[in-house]
């Protein structure tokens, strides 16, 4: 069988029969898929970054199926529709991440099978995390959750908690002193403490009380102003800023037995969702607050911390000392390795999974450092996608 690799400027090529036409953007996933197809004895016809005319010419040859492999969902969608326009009804396999786009593509192209790199590789990344033993509990979970409430991640939430705690402490202490020193009934003591807390005025009986009580009452009113200002500032910031985590509830940062996912790209988001579906809490760390998947993760109820995953302070905030595992799945091999080194330094026994794209990087890192489980996601996805095409 005669096979040619075409570009957008290529002249028409005649072949006897081509099992698979691969239309790609030249990315790593497409290259791995082509390599696996050839290893299995198939010789695909390959179009890299073609224009519409090149696709039309290629589809004039006898072709059984077409694979559209692109990193951008919109590009993949457009190429799939172009193929369907020139060869209606031909078997199509298209890589798409966004589930809304995938659904529309299935409805528009009946013989289209949609696959996602993230869906393919997420189980291989999640498996070591799920299998990892949860660290030994320190104290009761109730105290751990209480610690998370009293020491939240973000500065705005911390200011709010400090202000609220300060006002409650003043209220309780003032009520106790009014009842003990001035012999007020509990109701009157609570009422007097509330007057002081709202800086209306101290209880009238205080003016006839001992001097130290007057000084204490004056001090509590001044402190109340400061704590009220802190509480108001923290509350305003929580209302204005995008709330990526909550103090309590579904999007609160897990305290124990969770998985830390560094990088909230397509793979990171799918990994977080898969872990949550498996009953394991996850927290994501993303460097950019305006990253596309941050909004999606909020909708899924995944807590998100903005920061660099290799930063020891960020790892402390997501409780790396009590985590089940950490997965470094950013789009950069070097950053993933740096994250793994920082996590290993923070806790030597932590289970670590590292996403890599180049086999040499994985081999060298594992040999020199022994960081954890290395996963070449494009090799994994390429094998799977080639299997889909071979069985189609």
Model pLDDT, residue 150: 46
**Two structure tokens written together for 164:** 């609220």
**Two structure tokens written together for 7:** 């570009």
CATH class of segment(s) 154-240 = mainly alpha
**Two structure tokens written together for 192:** 């007097």
Cα separation, 372 vs 362, whole angstroms: 10
Model pLDDT, residue 174: 82
Q: Count the neighbouring beta carbons within 10 Å of the beta carbon of residue 145.
A: 15
Model pLDDT, residue 36: 92
Which one is the CATH code of 124-145+250-376: 1.10.579.10, 3.40.50.970, 3.90.1820.10, 3.40.50.720? 3.40.50.720
> How far is C-alpha 250 from the chain's CA centre?
14
pLDDT digits (tens, 9 = 90+) for 270-288: 999 999 999 999 999 999 8
Map out the domains of the chain as residue ranges. 5-115, 124-145+250-376, 154-240
Sheet holding 373-376, edge to edge: 304-306, 282-286, 259-262, 325-328, 351-356, 373-376
> How far is C-alpha 53 from the chain's CA centre?
40
Model pLDDT, residue 367: 60
Low-confidence ranges of the chain (pLDDT < 70): 1-18, 136-157, 199-209, 234-251, 358-369, 392
Alpha helices (runs of H) in 45-204, residue ranges in sequence order: 52-58, 73-86, 99-108, 117-131, 141-150, 155-181, 186-197
Model pLDDT, residue 354: 93
Model pLDDT, residue 232: 75
pLDDT digits (tens, 9 = 90+) for 24-64: 988 888 999 999 999 988 889 999 999 999 999 999 888 89
Model pLDDT, residue 155: 59
124-145+250-376 shares the fold of 5-115: yes
Q: Which residues pair with 304 in a beta bridge?
A: 284
Cα separation, 288 vs 249, whole angstroms: 24
Q: Count the neighbouring beta carbons within 10 Å of the beta carbon of residue 168.
A: 12
Q: Count the neighbouring beta carbons within 10 Å of the beta carbon of residue 237.
A: 16
Model pLDDT, residue 149: 47
Question: Could you confirm whether domain 5-115 is CATH 3.30.720.200?
Answer: no
> How far is C-alpha 157 from the chain's CA centre?
21
Cα separation, 115 vs 97, whole angstroms: 8
């Amino acid at each position: 069988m005669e096979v040619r690799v075409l570009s957008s400027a290529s002249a028409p090529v005649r072949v006897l029969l081509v099992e698979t036409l691969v239309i790609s953007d030249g990315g790593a996933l497409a290259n791995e898929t082509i390599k696996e197809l050839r290893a299995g004895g198939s010789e695909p016809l390959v179009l890299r970054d073609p224009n519409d005319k090149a696709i039309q010419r290629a589809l004039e040859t006898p072709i059984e199926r077409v694979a559209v492999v692109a990193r951008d969902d919109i590009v993949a969608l457009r190429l799939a529709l172009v193929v369907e326009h020139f060869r209606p009804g031909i078997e199509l396999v298209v890589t798409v991440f966004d589930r809304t786009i995938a659904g529309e593509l299935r409805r528009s192209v009946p013989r289209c099978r949609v696959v996602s790199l993230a869906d393919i590789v997420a189980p291989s990344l999640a498996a070591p995390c799920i299998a990892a033993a949860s660290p030994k509990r320190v104290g009761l979970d109730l105290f751990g959750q209480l610690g998370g409430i009293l020491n939240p991640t973000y500065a705005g939430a911390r200011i709010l908690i400090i202000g609220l705690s300060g006002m409650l402490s003043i209220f309780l202490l003032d009520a106790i002193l009014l009842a003990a020193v001035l012999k007020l009934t509990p109701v009157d003591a609570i009422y007097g403490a509330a007057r002081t807390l709202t800086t209306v005025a101290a209880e009238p009986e205080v003016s006839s009380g001992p001097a130290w009580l007057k000084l204490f009452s004056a001090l509590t009113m001044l402190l109340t102003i400061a704590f009220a200002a802190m509480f108001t500032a923290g509350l305003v910031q929580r209302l204005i800023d995008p709330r990526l985590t909550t103090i309590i509830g579904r999007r609160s940062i897990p305290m124990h037995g969770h998985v830390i996912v560094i990088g909230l790209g397509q793979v990171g988001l799918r990994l977080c969702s898969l872990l949550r579906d498996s009953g394991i809490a996850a927290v994501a760390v993303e460097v950019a607050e305006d990253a596309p998947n941050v909004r999606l993760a909020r909708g899924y109820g995944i807590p998100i911390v903005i920061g660099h995953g290799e930063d020891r302070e960020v790892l402390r905030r997501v409780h790396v000392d009590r985590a089940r595992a950490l997965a470094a799945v950013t789009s950069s091999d070097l950053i993933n390795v740096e994250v793994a080194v920082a996590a290993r330094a923070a806790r030597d026994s932590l289970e670590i999974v590292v996403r890599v794209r180049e086999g040499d990087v994985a081999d060298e890192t594992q040999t020199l450092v022994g960081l954890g489980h290395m996963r070449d996601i494009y090799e994994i996805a390429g094998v799977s996608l080639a299997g889909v095409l071979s069985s189609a």
